[in-house]
Amino acid sequence: MTLKLTNTLSRRVEPFEPLVPGEVSIYCCGVTVYDLCHLGHARSYIAWDVLRRYLSWSGYRVTFVQNYTDIDDKILGRAAEEGSSMEAVSERNIEAFVADMARLNILPPDRMPRATRSLDAIRTLIEELEAKGAAYSADGDVYFAVMKHAGYGKLSGRDLAEQQDNAAGRVGTEEEARKQHPFDFALWKGAKPGEPSFPSPWGPGRPGWHIECSAMVREELGNTIDIHLGGADLIFPHHENEIAQSEAATGQQLARYWLHNGMVNVGGQKMSKSLGNFTTIRALLDSGVSPMTLRLFTLQAHYRKPLDFTAEALEAAATGWKGLNAALGLASTASAAPGATPELAAARARFTAAMDDDLNTSAALAVLFELAKPLRALANRLERGDTSAAAEATSPSLAAQGELLRELAGVLGLEPEAGDAAQAATEGPSTDEIQAQIEARQAAKAARNFAEADRIRDALKAQGIELIDRPGGVTEWLRN
């Protein structure tokens, strides 16, 4: 069985075949760096990270390019607001982006081009479009003429003739008046007084949003790439325009497969910066939600479907991850085991079949949970000091199961976490104080003064210390 992916271009699930056997070129639309990233970005980049990991695991050599849009109106607006510069805003947010992605265990792209560093490629592309009659300039701006490009609308299923009437309501601004067709879009924007600008044959200005991606794709990966990624909200106009520009210039297909992820919703509405209903990645992680919990949360749904973000769903993911993590923790200590049993081979096959089916991570996770179940149970028995469990843990078949679990979890980017006990240990009561309290509680219990024993337990809990009574009168504790 081979990988099948939903191609937005055909609106169908198609078998994936790269242009060059064994190699895959991928371009992923990155972020406009005017602010911190939120959970919508996390969902998107986690999904594509899994695609990338799965392709690599399947034996492909993957080249993954993702851009930074580091010049646009919002960055300029932010810079003006805080009295800094475009560069300062961009640099700060790029740094934050890199850190956030790393925390989520998202592999860094092979190359991360920036619009401001790709100006030669951008200007060249615009000149080519002008030479071919696909672009026209007006008052220092340069626009792409959608009417000149047969096939405009093929990605988003729009028909120019029908759409013109609907767009008519928006005509009226100064810019609209300069356009030959309402759907024409800026390739180059002339600079207004005081704005940062770059020189060009059309006067000082800056590139439009869409052209940078077309230019960077070509510069980094060539005229035709295998896979182009992005959020569903980019289908129109961004990706539609990218196709128009690139294909008008090169005469070749821009991308063979277009993949789009569904939005993250809050209360049934799309999470977005403009609506203000967003939670940033770092705010969520800093609030104590583990990166792997967030990963598990997003991977439990199919990447194309909308994902509703709720506290309850996140909590369910956290509990689910706790169990998976326990199993992975045990698996990492198990010794290597040769050979796979028929059961393990079947589990591997089910995982692969799920992933081949348009990255069905939800079904793939079911395989992980099933593999994890006996390991988790054993891990917990070991933790209790069950001596017979120690012998079982060394069984070759269980070790092999653990190894498979770790391997498959790794394909989803799920890796065991040690927890942040060490970090938390600097807060709250000291180990000695806790130990003294536990002894006081033991004494109370021995005297059958359960009210006092419970009071001590509750008091410690209020300080973030949880007591765990083990068989044999042993009491352990955990910091929360």
Partner RNA sequence: GGCGGCAUGGCCAAGUGGUAAGGCAGAGGAUUGCAAAUCCUUUACCCCCAGUUCGAAUCUGGGUGCCGCCUCCA
Q: Is residue 158 part of the contact set for RNA (CB under 7 A)?
A: yes
Q: Is residue 11 part of the contact set for RNA (CB under 7 A)?
A: yes
Rg (CA), the chain: 27
Of the candidates 319, 332, 394, 435, which one interacts with RNA according to CB under 7 A? 319
Residue 85's CB is within 10 A of a number of other CB atoms, namely 14
Q: Which stretch binds RNA (CB under 7 A): 29-37, 132-140, 249-257, 430-438?
A: 29-37
CB of 436 to RNA, least distance (A): 17
Q: How far apart are CA 477 and CA 459, in angstroms?
A: 13
Return the number of the residue (170 or 193) whose C-beta is nearest RNA: 170
Distance in angstroms between the alpha carbons of the first and the last residue of the chain:
45
CB of 110 to RNA, least distance (A): 19
Per-residue x/- track, 35-64, RNA (CB under 7 A): -----xx-xx--------------------
Contact between residue 214 and residue 252 where contact means Cβ atoms under 8 Å apart:
no
Single-letter amino acid, residue 250: T
Return the number of the residue (319 or 335) whose C-beta is nearest RNA: 319
Instruction: Please give the size of the binding site for RNA, defined by CB under 7 A.
Output: 89
- Say how far residue 221 (Cα) sits from the centre of its chain: 22
At 278, give phi and psi (nearest 5°). -105, 155
Q: Is residue 395 part of the contact set for RNA (CB under 7 A)?
A: no
Q: Is residue 310 part of the contact set for RNA (CB under 7 A)?
A: yes
Kind of pairing between the strands at 269-270 and 475-479: unpaired
Q: Which two tokens stand for residue 450?
A: 């359960």
Q: Is residue 273 part of the contact set for RNA (CB under 7 A)?
A: yes
**65-94 residues near RNA, rule: CB under 7 A:** 69, 72, 74
Q: How far apart are CA 307 and CA 313, in angstroms?
A: 10
**159-218 residues near RNA, rule: CB under 7 A:** 159, 162-163, 166-167, 170, 182, 185, 209
CB of 251 to RNA, least distance (A): 26
Alpha helices in 30-188 (DSSP H): 39-57, 73-82, 86-103, 119-131, 160-167, 174-178
Q: Which stretch binds RNA (CB under 7 A): 135-143, 374-382, 402-410, 423-431?
A: 374-382
Q: Which two tokens stand for residue 195?
A: 């704005």
Contact between residue 47 and residue 355 where contact means Cβ atoms under 8 Å apart:
no
Single-letter amino acid, residue 253: Q
Compute the half-sphere exposure of residue 337: CA atoms within 13 Å on the CB side of its CA: 22
Q: Is residue 272 part of the contact set for RNA (CB under 7 A)?
A: yes
Return the number of the residue (252 or 395) whose C-beta is nearest RNA: 395
Q: Is residue 19 part of the contact set for RNA (CB under 7 A)?
A: no
Q: Is residue 265 part of the contact set for RNA (CB under 7 A)?
A: yes
Closest CA to 114 of 229, 193, 209, 216: 216
Contact between residue 347 and residue 367 where contact means Cβ atoms under 8 Å apart:
yes
Q: Is residue 313 part of the contact set for RNA (CB under 7 A)?
A: yes
Q: Which stretch binds RNA (CB under 7 A): 51-59, 123-131, 249-257, 269-277?
A: 269-277
Per-residue x/- track, 116-155, RNA (CB under 7 A): ----------------------------------------
**402-441 residues near RNA, rule: CB under 7 A:** none
